[in-house]
Structure 1
C-alpha cells in the first residue's frame, strides 16, 4: 500500500514516512495519544473506506452492506461485552460527536448542563463557549477544591440544587483522580437530571477493570475509542435500552451522515484486543507507570494537581516550582529533547490557554512501547532536569541521548 502512495503522491508519502520516524524517535507522552497495533492499522486502511452505510446493521439506506454489517455488529457486541452496556452505538466520529449525540438525544436547546470547568480538567464539549455545547445549551460549571485539587461532591450537590440542570456531566480530559460515579448519579437523580459520564480518556482502563466503571451509575456513557483503548480513532455511546432509539436517531441522521466503516473496523479489532489478558496487563502497567511518574516528579519538587494520580496522567502546575516557566515554554523545552507533552491549563489558571501554567503528561503510549516503572522513572528525572534548566546545553544533550537510547530499545513497530 505504501508503494502505491509513493507512486501517486510522493509528498504525502514523505510526510507519512517522516511522521512514522517522529513517532519512533520521540517519546510520546500526550495523555490522549497512543500507538495502535498493526492489525488496527490494517483494518483502518481497507476497502471499507469505499462503502457508504447510512443507517444501522440490517436497516441501511444503501445496498451492498451485508459485509460492513458484520463488522459493525462485531464492534457493537464486543463493546457491549467489554463495558457491560445494554446498548452501544459505535458510529460517532469522535468523543465530542458522541457527546453531541447524547445531548441531542436527551436535551432541548437552551436547557442547562452542569459540568466540570475546562481549566479544572473538563473538556470543550462539556459546555465551553467556543464549542457547540456552550452555544446551544446553558452551562453551569463545577470546579475542583483549590486546596486539594479534588472534586467536592457535597459542593457539587449544593450547586446542582441551585442550578437545577437537565444534565450533569462527569468525566474529564485533565483531572487525574477517579470520579465517584455513584455519587454523581445520586446527585443527578436528586435534581431529576440525566447523568452523562464521559470516559474518553479512561475507556481502556475501565474496559480492563483497573478503573471504576460508570455504566451502572449513568444514563449515558460516552468515550473515545483510542487513547487508552488503542482501537480505531472515533467515539462510542453506551446507554440503557430505554434510550437506544433516541441515541441512534441523534447520531444518524441527527448529527452525522454515513459512518466511517474503516474506522469502525479498527474499533472492532481494537475491542477484540482489549478483551485479552495481555491488554489487562497493559492497562495495569499504564496506571503503575503513571504512579511512578508522579512519584519522581513530586520528589523532584514539582507540584502536581491533587498531589498525584489515580489513572494514566499527571497534571503539573508550574507556578510554585517554576513561576517564570509557562506551560508553552515547558512543552517546547521538552520537545527539543524528544519528549512530547502538551501545555495545559490548571485550576485557577490566569494565563491564556495558548500559554498556560501547566503541562499534562501521560503514560499510555510509552506503556504500549514496553516501558515499565524503571524506564518511566528515567524519563521523569529527564523531564525534571529539562524543566530545571531548559536552556542548558549540557542538560539538553544528556536528555536527548537518554531519549535516543530509550527509543532504540523500545521501538513502536518492529
Structure 2
C-alpha cells in the first residue's frame, strides 16, 4: 500500500505537521489500530483507574515518546557513542541524567534501563556473581519477581533467601537482621509492590553493614512520594536505588538506576567504582542501543516533578489513600495494617468469602479497574488471590479529593456486596446495580477529565 501522506511535505517541517500527518497516516493505513487506540483512550477516560502500578502520562511526555529521536541508533553514552549523528541525543540524555540527579539528590544516574525489572537485573549482575546469596521480601508478602522469586532470574541465578511480614503485616526488621546474620547475603533488597507502610531504609542499611552486604532499594511504587518529601529517601542509605518511571513519576515505561554517597566507592577489584560497574553493566553487558525518545520522555517527566502542580498531586495521592482506607474500613472491609502511608490500600476479602480474582472481575464490569493481590500471611494457591490492591495515583491526577474517595469506597462496597457467581466466567453484578454504578463512575469521570493533571 502506498503511503498517502509525506511526513516532510511542509515547507517548515514543523513537528505539528509531522505528528498530524502521522495520525492521518495511521487512520488511513491501519484503521484497525487507529480504532483500537480510540476505544482504549475512551475506556480510560470513562473508567476509574485504581491499579496501584498505573498513572496518567501527561500529554507533553506522550509527545516525547512519538518524536523522531527514536530514529537514532545511539549505542554507548553521551560523548562516547558507537554511531554518528548523536549530538542532539547526547544533549537529551545529559538533560535526563542531570534532572534525575537533581530530583533524587543523587551523585550518579543512569537513564537507559528499559524497565525497573531490567534495572534490578543489571544491578544484581554488576555487583554479584551467579550463585551468590541475596535477601529480599517474598512475593506473597508484597515483594517483586525481581527481588528473589523462584520463577524469576533473581531466584534461579542467585541463592535467594526471603523475609516476610510480622503478624500485624509489617516488615519485621529483627527477622531481616536474623536472616542476614544466618545467611550472610551479598546483597539485600528493600522495596515492595503491595506494602502500604513506610520502609525504614536506615535500619536496612544498618543490617546490610552488619553483614557486609550491598543494599538495593527499589522505590518504583513510592518514587513520587520520595521526590515530594512524603516518604523518607534511601539515596544515602542504599548503595543503589532503582525505580520505574511510569508509576509515580508519570513518565514512560522505563527505568532509572541511581546512587548517592556510595557511587564512588571502589568495589572488589579496587579499580572501578560502584557507578562504573553499573555503567558498564547497562551497556554493553545487558543492553544495546538505548531508546532516545523514551529517554526524552523521562527527561520531560522529571522536569514536571519540579512543578507545584506535581507536588500538590503527591499530597493528594497520600491524602486520598488514607481517606479511601478509612472509608472502606467504616464499610466493614479488612484493610491490611489498618491504613496506609503510601498510595496503596490492600483489602483482605477473606472474611467476605470471595476471592480477589472474582472481585477484580466484578469491579471491571462496573468500570472500576483494580487488581487482585495476595494477602500476606495467608496460605492460599498463588492463582487464587484473597485480596485486591487499590492505588490512588491516577485518581489524584484527575483531581479527586476526599469526597470523591468516599464515593469510590461506597461504590466498591456496593459492587462487592452484590456479586453473584463463583468462577471468572460466571461472576456478575445485578443489572440495576451495575447500571447505577456505571452512571456514578461516568459522572465522576466527566467532572474530573483524565488530563486534568
Rounded to whole Å, the distance in 1 between the matches of 2:335 and 2:136 is 22
SS of structure 1 residue aligned to 2:285? coil
8 A contact 1:344–1:353 mirrored in 2? no
Rounded to whole Å, the distance in 1 between the matches of 2:331 and 2:67 is 47
Structure 1 segment 205-244 matched on structure 2, within 5 A: 205-239=225-259, 240-242=263-265, 243-244=274-275
Rounded to whole Å, the distance in 1 between the matches of 2:384 and 2:28 is 41
**What RMSD, in angstroms, separates the aligned Cα atoms of the two structures?**
1.1
Rounded to whole Å, the distance in 2 between the matches of 1:332 and 1:6 is 32
Deviations 1:50-83 (A, max 9, x none): 1111111111111111001111111110010000
> 2:393 maps to what in 1?
364
Shift of 1:126: 0.5
Matched, 1:182 2:202: yes
SS of structure 1 residue aligned to 2:189? strand
**TM-score (normalised: structure 2):** 0.89
Rounded to whole Å, the distance in 2 between the matches of 1:8 and 1:64 is 30
> 2:211 maps to what in 1?
191
Once structures 1 and 2 are overlaid, which stretch shifts more, 333-342 or 350-359? Answer: 350-359
Structure (1 or 2) with the larger CA radius of gyration: 2
Matched, 1:295 2:292: no
Structure 1 segment 276-291 matched on structure 2, within 5 A: 276-291=307-322
Shift of 1:48: 1.2
User: Which of 133, 146, 151 does residue 125 from structure 1 map onto?
Assistant: 146
Matched, 1:379 2:400: no
> 1:270 maps to what in 2?
301
User: Which of 274, 277, 289 does residue 246 from structure 1 map onto?
Assistant: 277
Matched, 1:314 2:337: no
SS of structure 2 residue aligned to 1:254? helix
SS of structure 2 residue aligned to 1:314? strand
8 A contact 2:345–2:390 mirrored in 1? yes
Rounded to whole Å, the distance in 1 between the matches of 2:46 and 2:447 is 11
Shift of 1:353: 3.1
Shift of 1:350: 3.2
Shift of 1:185: 0.5
Gaps of 5+ in 1: none
Matched, 1:70 2:91: yes
Rounded to whole Å, the distance in 1 between the matches of 2:62 and 2:294 is 10
Rounded to whole Å, the distance in 1 between the matches of 2:388 and 2:248 is 19
8 A contact 2:364–2:370 mirrored in 1? yes
8 A contact 2:69–2:89 mirrored in 1? yes
Aligned length: 411
User: Which of 63, 68, 76 does residue 42 from structure 1 map onto?
Assistant: 63
Matched, 1:143 2:181: no
> 1:97 maps to what in 2?
118
Matched, 1:355 2:384: yes
Shift of 1:302: 0.8
8 A contact 2:165–2:377 mirrored in 1? no
Gaps of 5+ in 2: 1-21, 266-273, 420-428
> 2:288 maps to what in 1?
257
Shift of 1:138: 0.6
> 1:5 maps to what in 2?
26
Once structures 1 and 2 are overlaid, which stretch shifts more, 179-188 or 1-10? Answer: 1-10
Which of the pair has the greater relative contact order for Cα pairs under 8 Å at 6+ separation? 1
Shift of 1:351: 3.2
> 1:339 maps to what in 2?
368
Shift of 1:184: 0.3
Rounded to whole Å, the distance in 2 between the matches of 1:224 and 1:164 is 28
Shift of 1:306: 1.2
